[in-house]
Structure 1
Amino acid sequence: MIIFMKKWTALLSIATLTLGLAACNETATPVQEKEVTETSKLTLQEVYDKSMKVSEELKSVKGTIDMNQTMTMPSEEMTLDIKSVLDMEYILEPMQMHQKGTTTMMGMGEGGESQETEMETYITEDAMYVYEGTTAQWKKFPQEMVDQIKSSANQTDPATQLQPLQEYLEQVEFEQDDDTYILTLKGSGEEFTALVKDQVDEALQNLTAGENINLDFTINSVDYVVHIDKESYQTTKLDTVIDMDMTMEGETINLKMDAKTDFSKFNEIGEIVVPQEIIDSATSI
């Protein structure tokens, strides 16, 4: 059961990253919660285009993620609550990454207490090192695994995520405060399922080395909020609340997820270096 649940957990980031921005020709309404004195006359289409251009030129970024998930498997009468807190530094080309954080599974330890696991990963041009908190050991993965992860990671290219979403122009609420454009997309049903299906299928095949795995899913509801800086047009914050059903290998799971991501250090990360002590102590798989 734990292995099956871990497989589902590994798919969550794929489904999450397949949502993106949308655009239409209207100006931003000042937010009601606070006084706004610095208003912009740019339309949503213009902001989208500028943000798209910046995304295409992005070389590196840092992301801080705070995510809560509840997965329910009716066939097993089981509910699993997971909290993840992650810091990630990411270089797009050539792809490099350092990710560190903790994942807490509620009620999964002995006696039903929460079980917290430390996680850390380095991915460089030719290697991937993963720290397993349960064994307190570093492991080095083979080159073919590195290539698969890199292929999947290419799905997170911001420009790639923005392009297919222009058809949802009229569904985006467009607001602003003094420093930020705020884009809100809310919806459910088949149109959002169709939006992410092709991208999820492609990313899934990359991660499973071409194995024929069928993943069916339905978006029950999604609230998606993007904050774009008025000066740089960088995406500084992304909040996603999603309720979806996923079926794989005859099992259906309901996922409710609330994820908050803050972005910083745009184009400031020049290189990601694996400490020598990790290289020396890692066990090859």
Structure 2
Amino acid sequence: MLLLFTIIILSACSENKEDIVEKALQTEDTLESYATDYGIAINVETEFRNESSSVQGNATIVENPAALHQVFTSTTSNNESSVEGYMVKEDSYIKEGDSEWIYQQIEPDAIQFEPSYHDILSIIEQVHENTEFTEQDSTYQLSFEGFNRQIYDALSSPFSVELTGFELDDDVEQKLVILINKDDHTIQSLQYDIVAENSDTGKVTMDIHMDYNNFNEVEEITIPEEVKDSAS
């Protein structure tokens, strides 16, 4: 009985990771809308300077017809600015800080949020074989620590990560954690941390997080009338 129980457990574990990843990738087929909270923080330390910058924001996205509402704050060592924007059909309204709303006509194809939920699924498809799979109370976890060029390349484009002046294999450490919801297999969050350091270039740290929620619960994104009336 003990041997049989052990075999059953091992068999389940051996296929569990691939099954869960496949189910996560299939959530793209039924995706109609979602919301995301995100943040990117970068710190650069060299012999001559120490600079920090960050972006914190949230967005609501509808897939078809495409629509977006986004609010984010950018912070540097010397400045902080906030931006709010609506993009619905051919209409774009952008407001920076306390300034007036600005209207611009756009092509519907220009409505996009990056990195989108689709980008995260693409990342998972590319990197899951290099990750460790574990199970938590309400989520499945894909994780990695160390350095892996395939993971670095997969996340470089969606997050605009480019490290110059470093030998990637020797100077860079990565930590990646992706959480998949147990109930519906949607992506709950992605956390990506990078530390690059050598004696010549200095040290660069990047902390990136994306949280996704409210799947298919956003019925419509509309532009408030007061935004339209005040736009130039």
How high is the TM-score relative to the length of structure 1?
0.62
Q: How many pairs align?
A: 214
Alpha-carbon offset, residue 78 of structure 1: 4.5
- Corresponding residue number in structure 1 for 2:121: 162
SS at match of 1:137: coil
Structure label with greater radius of gyration = 2
Alpha-carbon distance change, 259 to 183 in structure 1, aligned in 2, over 3 angstroms: same
How high is the TM-score relative to the length of structure 2?
0.75
Per-residue Cα deviation, 1:229-277 (whole angstroms, up to 9, x for no partner): 11111111221113479xxxxxx99853212332211100011111111
Contact kept? 1:193, 1:217, Cα under 8 Å: no
Alpha-carbon distance change, 238 to 169 in structure 1, aligned in 2, over 3 angstroms: closer
Question: Following the alignment from structure 2 to structure 1, what is the Cα–Cα distance between the partners of residues 202 and 175?
Answer: 20
Runs of at least 5 residues in structure 2 that lack an aligned partner in the other structure:
1-9
- Corresponding residue number in structure 1 for 2:150: 191
- Corresponding residue number in structure 2 for 1:65: 38
Moved more, 176-185 or 60-69: 60-69
Runs of at least 5 residues in structure 1 that lack an aligned partner in the other structure:
1-24, 29-40, 109-114, 205-214, 246-251
Contact kept? 2:179, 2:189, Cα under 8 Å: yes
Per-residue Cα deviation, 1:146-165 (whole angstroms, up to 9, x for no partner): 64x43x6487352x553475
- Corresponding residue number in structure 2 for 1:208: none
1:148-159 matches, within 5 Å, as: 149-150=110-111, 153=113, 156-158=116-118
Alpha-carbon distance change, 268 to 183 in structure 1, aligned in 2, over 3 angstroms: same
Question: Following the alignment from structure 2 to structure 1, what is the Cα–Cα distance between the partners of residues 30 and 68?
Answer: 18
Question: Following the alignment from structure 2 to structure 1, what is the Cα–Cα distance between the partners of residues 105 and 153?
Answer: 34
Alpha-carbon distance change, 62 to 169 in structure 1, aligned in 2, over 3 angstroms: closer
Equivalent position amino acid for 2:94 in 1: V
SS at match of 1:227: strand
Q: Does 1:130 align with 2:94?
A: yes
Q: Of 212, 230, 239, which aligns to 2:182? A: 230
Per-residue Cα deviation, 1:82-140 (whole angstroms, up to 9, x for no partner): 2332121111222211111322222x1xxxxxx3222211111111111111x522112
RMSD, aligned CA: 3.5
Q: Of 103, 122, 125, which aligns to 1:140? A: 103
Percentage of matched positions with identical amino acids: 21
Question: Following the alignment from structure 1 to structure 2, what is the Cα–Cα distance between the partners of residues 177 and 192?
Answer: 23
Equivalent position amino acid for 2:136 in 1: D
Contact kept? 1:26, 1:45, Cα under 8 Å: no
